[in-house]
Structure 1
Amino acid sequence: MEEIKTILLNREPPILAPGDKVFDESLVDRIESLPQSKNVRAGLHLLNDDIHHAHLLAQSIEGDPIADYWHAILHRREKDYSNSKYWFSHVNSDVLKKVYGQSSISLAKQKSFAFVDQCEKVKSGRDSELEHRQFEEMKSVLEAAIKRE
């Protein structure tokens, strides 16, 4: 896992909405074969721009706070903004508070909705500041998933 994680965490920040383009196809099967939890693998797939596999894993453990967070991010990356907000409304995790620098879940959810709105306004699909923020968010959620193992 360390090699895969190094590759994915040292890449340029992923674009906001990758469509069907996976960053590194050679990592898909390697991620799937890892013994790590579904949450860790979902995060690695999402960092690899593999929305499909991330979605399958997150959906299979719906109700888990980290899985629901992955679900929210992946829908934002699919440009399914209302569904992203739906999933953010279900995230009850200290990770959300940490990422959005808030002391309460309620305030963190408001900030996450605002970030979804900012992403929705990007018509070209590229915004380096938002891409960087999204990348840092995904790194934080992955770190939380790894710590739970």
Structure 2
Amino acid sequence: MSWTETLHRLTGSLTAHKPSLYPAEEWDDLNDIKIGKLSVDGFQGEQRTYALAVKAGLHLFNESLDASHELSQSLHHPTGSYWHGIMHRMEGDYSNAKYWFRMVSSYPVYERLAKDASQYLKECSLSDVSNALIREKLEKLSGASEWDPYAFVDLVEHQVTVAREAVAEELLQHIQWLEMRRLLQYSYAQSGGGGQLIELPEH
């Protein structure tokens, strides 16, 4: 089975899953094996690094932090740094996550991601968020025209280490899912993949 066929089969189930903000273990051990078997032998040069970025992203959808880290730390471009930053955020190493987001700098998906998050939050009832700090930051995010990865790290850190509130958890987990889907599609496109790997909203 080709890379594209195998990838589409894997992606369907994996990207429907919303990873935890702070995973305790892999979601599905079998998925890790399947991702590991995805061969990038047919890729050359920079496209090969983006194919590896796709694999790093799939491991994160499967909440397999070590496997994702092993790949992303070897990818010396902003996309590799982005997956690396998300991995450390999910690991709970928030200062290290910010370091890798500084390596990303500006990024092609940020504008659409900001719109994804804004649209989603405007459809939610933020008054149901009882933690005042998180509610305030989410309200700011709902009106933002630019994605701020550092602000999102702070939101996740406050939720995981202080607030631990169910409503906020659901909202932040969904935004993380939107972020990872945008990044996975971009990684796939840069690897030379044609068409949409994931159905994403157009803005």
Q: TM-score range by the shorter chain?
A: 0.7 to 0.9
Q: 1:130 aligns with which of 157, 168, 172?
A: 172
1:99 and 2:113 matched: yes
> What 5-or-longer segments of structure 2 have no aligned partner?
1-6, 41-50, 116-144, 192-203
1:121 and 2:170 matched: no
Moved over 6 A (4+): none
Q: For structure 1, which segment, 84-93 or 48-57, has the greater mean C-alpha deviation from structure 2 after superposition?
A: 84-93
TM-score normalised per structure 2: 0.65
**CA drift at 1:96:** 3.1
> Does the aligned pair in 2 maintain the 1:69–1:88 contact within 8 Å?
yes
Q: 2:186 aligns with which of 139, 144, 148?
A: 144
Q: 1:53 to 1:125 in 2, by over 3 A?
A: farther
**CA drift at 1:125:** 8.2
For 2:109, what is the secondary structure of its paired residue? helix
TM-score normalised per structure 1: 0.87
Q: For structure 1, which segment, 120-129 or 76-85, has the greater mean C-alpha deviation from structure 2 after superposition?
A: 120-129
For 2:86, what is the secondary structure of its paired residue? helix
Distance 1:53 1:15 in 2: 16
Identity rate of aligned residues, in percent?
Answer: 34
> What 5-or-longer segments of structure 1 have no aligned partner?
102-106
1:43 aligns with 57
Q: 1:64 to 1:16 in 2, by over 3 A?
A: same
1:32 and 2:45 matched: no
1:85 and 2:98 matched: yes
Q: For structure 1, which segment, 114-123 or 30-39, has the greater mean C-alpha deviation from structure 2 after superposition?
A: 30-39
Query: CA-to-partner distance for each residue in 1:83-138, whole Å, 9 max, x for gaps?
Result: 1111111104212343235xxxxx957x1110000000113386000000001100
2:74 aligns with 60
> Does the aligned pair in 1 maintain the 2:59–2:65 contact within 8 Å?
yes
Distance 2:81 2:157 in 1: 20
**CA drift at 1:69:** 0.3
> Does the aligned pair in 1 maintain the 2:19–2:60 contact within 8 Å?
no
| Structure exhibiting the larger radius of gyration computed from Cα positions | 2
Distance 1:40 1:94 in 2: 16
**CA drift at 1:34:** 0.8
Q: Which amino acid aligns with 1:6?
A: G
> Does the aligned pair in 2 maintain the 1:69–1:87 contact within 8 Å?
yes
RMSD: 1.8
> Does the aligned pair in 1 maintain the 2:156–2:172 contact within 8 Å?
yes
Q: 1:60 to 1:8 in 2, by over 3 A?
A: same
2:13 aligns with 7
- The alignment of Structure 1 onto Structure 2 pairs a total of residues equal to 140
> Does the aligned pair in 1 maintain the 2:23–2:63 contact within 8 Å?
yes
Distance 1:108 1:88 in 2: 15
